[in-house]
Structures are given as C-alpha cells and as structure tokens.
Amino acid sequence: MRFNEKELVSLSRQPSEMAAELGMRGPKKGDVLKKRLVKLVVNFLFYFRTDEEEPIGALLLEQCRVEKEDSQTFSIVFLDEAERKYLFECDSEEQCGEWIDSIIKASYEFMRKNLIFYRTEIHRLTGKDPLEQYGISDETRFQVSNGLQLMPRDTSSL
Amino acid sequence: MKLNERSVAHYATCDSPPDKTGFLFKKGERNTAYHRRWFVLKGNMLFYFEERDSREPIGVIVLEGCTVELCESAEEFAFAIKFDCAKARVYKMAAENQAAMESWVKALSRASFDYMRLVVKELERQLEEIQEAAGVGCVGAGGLQCKPKASRRNQVARSRSGASSSSSSSSSSLSSASSAPPMSGSGQKSLLDEGHHTSKENGVAWSKAPGTLANGFVEGASSCVAWESSTDSGISTGCGADGVRAPPVPPRRRGASLESPVSPGTGCFSKLHDWYGREVEELRAQWLQSQ
C-alpha cells in the first residue's frame, strides 16, 4: 500500500509533548527489546534510533488497544492482528501510566466520541447545537447515533 | 520508513464510519493521466481504492499538515492537496462536478487531527462554562451534569478548581465557519498543554453513544435519544425520567490526589468513586468486545 512517506517523516519532526526513550520490542518472534526514542504526534507513534533524524517506523494509532502489561510496561495491539504485541518498557510506573493515557486519547475515533458527547450535552442543557455557529453541524463525522456505529441521522430537528 | 501497513489498510475497510466517500480522479505520479479511484476519508487519512468494492486500498494520503486548493487545470473541477515540506508531492485531483469538488475540498481541509482537537476543546470549554453557570451541585437543575472522566483502572474523577484552568483554554478559539483555524506552532503547543491536563480527565473511550454513559444511571433508550427527540423543550430531563438522579461530578483539581474528595456537593465520595470506576470498566469492556 502506497503512502506519502516524506510527509509522514516531516510529521515526525513536529513538536510533541510525549517523547521519550523507551525500551521497545516488536511483535515478531525473535524481536528483542531495543532502546528507541518514541514520539507521539497526533495519531501516530514514531520510533527512532536514538540521535537519528529519520524515524525507523510509525504506527497509526487507530483501531488499537493499549494495555498495561506490568508495572512499567505497556503494550499496543492492533485489532486486526491481536496476537501481535508491540511492547514498551518505561522507566517508571508513572511514566507508563502517562503513555497509556496519552495513546488511548490519541485516536481520531476517541476525539470524535468526545465531541459527540459534548455536543449532545450542550444541546441537552441549552437547546442549541454548538456546532451550528461554525457551520459544521451537518458533517457526517459529528453525527450522533444510538448504537456503536455512527450512522447519518436526520438532525433536522436541531 | 516502516508503517504498520496491514493495520492501516484494515482501518480503511473496518466498520468504523468513514467521514466521506466517493469517486475522484487522481493524477498519477509516473503515468500522468487521471485515474478514477474510489476514495474513503477517515479522520486524517485519505484512502484510495481501485474500485468501490476493492478489498484493500491501493494507497493512502496522510492529510496531516496539508492544504487544499483549487487549481488551474485543463481538467474540470480540479483541486490539489499540498504539503509544506521539502520536495513534497502535490496530489492533483478532480471531482465529477462542482458540488462534489466543493464538498471534498471542505472535508479535506478540515480533516486534520488538530482541527478536530480544536473543535473538541472548544466544545469542552463551552460545556464547562455552561455547567459552571448552572452550578455543579448535588441537586442538579436539569439532570445529569456528567463529563467524561479518566479511564485508568480504579481511577476516579479528578478534582479541579473551577475557574482557572477552563478559562485559560479559550486561548485558541474556534474561528468562523468559512476558514480553517490557523495552526501556528505556538497555538498547537498551548492546545497540547491544556490537552494534557484536560484530556486526562476525558480518558474514557466512549463505547456506545456517550449519552449512555452520561445518563448511565438510567440505562435505556431515553439517554441517547435525548439528542434527537427533544425538539420541544430546550432542556431535557432524560436522566430524571424514572426518578433516578445522577450523582454530580465533583469539581476537578489539577494535580490533586485521586483519593481526596473535594466537592462540597458530593454526598458519599467512596460510593461515587466505586460507581464511576465500575461503570467505566463495564462500558470499556463492552466496547472492546464489540470491536
């Protein structure tokens, strides 16, 4: 699958508040723990060899699960390949917790759900749709639904 | 550079809802003819398939940091996706008609993660203002004033002093409808700073429509439907429907110990703590199972 690598590399250089040297182990048998500079930028987790400018790789953090493995280790697993675990070893339990938190919140899906929640609450409390003033109330991605799936809903009542 | 391509391709075709789909013509790199492809926009990722029913995408354009412009072209309804990095590629596209072109340009220029984050922050700020104005207390005026809380296991809603932190988050306010909000480096940083604070409080991955958690004390249809069906009255009292009043959210204090009860309005703190922890865990488990 083709992707715009140059732009992704450029993205990896953006400032990030979550960047640290962690022990990282890939998902394949035989992968060993290596020291990597791990950096979270939007919904991507980049990993670099220490002191190298260009990342070795990137993980898109959508449709994944983050779990605590032990007091200082967390794992990322992608839902389409749940047996393959990426492991990350932190320096402390606190750091581990911060990474887990940040990665959970780093997905577009997560943000979308929060947005819908706020929109719903604000409407419930005020009777007004807060997105209307920005002209984005009809965008598919902001629609509310009853179920797990977001489906286009008739929001003409709003 | 490696990418978790298989999982990225899976994201393209999994059942998470796309933000936009449709046919577009894309100018090839080597073969400079325009090829008709099926495009699927999910978040900040623009996937393209050979056919509408293809199982796997041919490729993806990561849209973060891009600008979308109309462009001069022999091709009608043409636009371009441009990036600001050295030797960046320009993706020349063409839609099938004027309306499609405008719709795609709009969708693509607002597809960035940062834009989404800005909108979320803005709504969060608005909700906080409304809640503070209404007063967070034991006896709510119109039902539940719940907010998303941290999702870590055994973690409880944190306490936060009301005034200071929320008002500071209005530094990057949402601009008007027609233009995408400017994303300066410093602007981003302040978002991230506040994001780090407030996002920890919004840790929960909402499984069902958030209405079910917000009104989680009352399980049932009335919770989510509040959004769609409350046409007559402004403020619905869905949560109070069968007489159950939701416990209020204790005010959150940045850096406060998780265990310290601070809200004057909260009755029995440990009950509240247990309840939130349990509810969040249940919902999370359900969501994970359904993925």
DSSP character at residue A123: H
Q: H or E segment at A36?
A: strand A34-41
pLDDT of residue B225: 34
| Chain A residues with beta carbon closer than 8 angstroms to that of B56 | 1
Question: How many domains, chain A?
Answer: 1
Determine how many CB atoms are found less than 10 A away from the CB of residue A14: 16
According to DSSP, the residues that pair with A24 across neighbouring strands are A34, A88
Per-residue pLDDT, B92: 94
Let me know if residue A71 belongs to a domain: yes
Please indicate whether, in this complex, the C-beta atoms of B203 and A104 are within 8 angstroms of each other: yes
pLDDT at A20 over 90: yes
Residue A76 lies in a domain: yes
The pTM (predicted TM-score) of the whole model is 0.65
A149 CB within 8 Å of a chain B CB: yes
Does residue A90 belong to any structural domain of this protein?
yes
Residue A19 is assigned to a structural domain of this protein: yes
For residue A137, being part of any structural domain is answered with no
Mean pLDDT over A81-87 rounds to: 93
pLDDT recorded at residue B196: 38
Confirm or reject contact between A151 and chain B (CB < 8 A). Answer: yes
Which range marks the domain in which residue A101 is found?
5-106
Q: Which 3-state string (H, E, C) describes chain B? A: CEECHHHHHHHHHCCCCCCEEEEEEEECCCCCCEEEEEEEEECCEEEEECCCCCCCCCEEEECCCEEEEECCCCCCCEEEEEECCCCCCCEEEECCCHHHHHHHHHHHHCCCHHHHHHHHHHHHHHHHHHHHHHCCCCCCCCCCCCCCCCCCCCCCCCCCCHHHHHHHHHHCCCCCCCCCCCCCHHHHHHHHHHHHHHHHHCCCCCCCCCHHHHCCCCCCHHHHHHHHHCCCCCCCCHHHCCCCCCCCCCCCCCCCCCCCCCCCCCCCHHHHHHHHHHHHHHHHHHHHHHC
Given A8, A146, A149, which is nearest B224 (Cβ)? A146
H-type helices in A127-153, by residue range?
none
Token readout for B133 is 């104005």
Is the predicted pLDDT of residue A49 greater than 50, yes or no? yes
Identify whether A123 is part of a domain: no
Chain centroid to CA A9: 17
Q: Which residue has the higher pLDDT, A118 or B151?
A: A118
The nearest CA of chain B is from the CA of A37 a distance in Å of 15
CB-based contact, B124 to chain A, within 8 Å: yes
- Of B89, B85, B103, which Cα lies nearest the Cα of B30? B89
CA B104 from centroid of its chain's CA atoms: 20
8 A C-beta contact, residue A71 and residue A93: yes
A108 touches chain B (CB under 8 A): yes
Taking CB atoms and an 8 Å limit, are A148 and B287 in contact across chains?
Answer: yes
In-domain check, residue A148:
no
Residues of chain B with Cβ-Cβ distance to A148 below 8 Å are 207-208, 287, 290
Q: Per residue of chain B (291 residues), what is the pLDDT tens digit?
A: 999 999 999 999 998 889 999 999 999 877 789 999 999 999 999 999 999 999 999 999 999 999 999 987 778 899 999 998 877 789 999 999 999 999 999 999 999 998 999 999 999 999 999 988 877 544 444 444 445 544 444 433 344 333 333 333 333 444 433 333 433 333 333 333 333 333 333 333 333 333 333 333 333 333 333 343 333 333 333 333 344 444 554 544 444 334 444 444 445 555 555 555 565 666 676 667 666
Q: Which residue of A has its CA nearest to B108?
A: A139
Q: Which pLDDT value is given to residue B17?
A: 87
Using a CB-CB distance cutoff of 8 angstroms, which residues of chain A are in contact with residue B84?
10
Cβ of B11 within 8 Å of Cβ of A62? The answer is: yes
- Please report, for the domain that includes residue A67, its CATH number: 2.30.29.30
The ipTM (two decimal places) reads 0.88
Residue A110 with chain B: CB contacts under 8 Å: 205
Is position A13 within any domain?
yes
Q: Mean pLDDT score of chain A, rounded to an integer?
A: 89
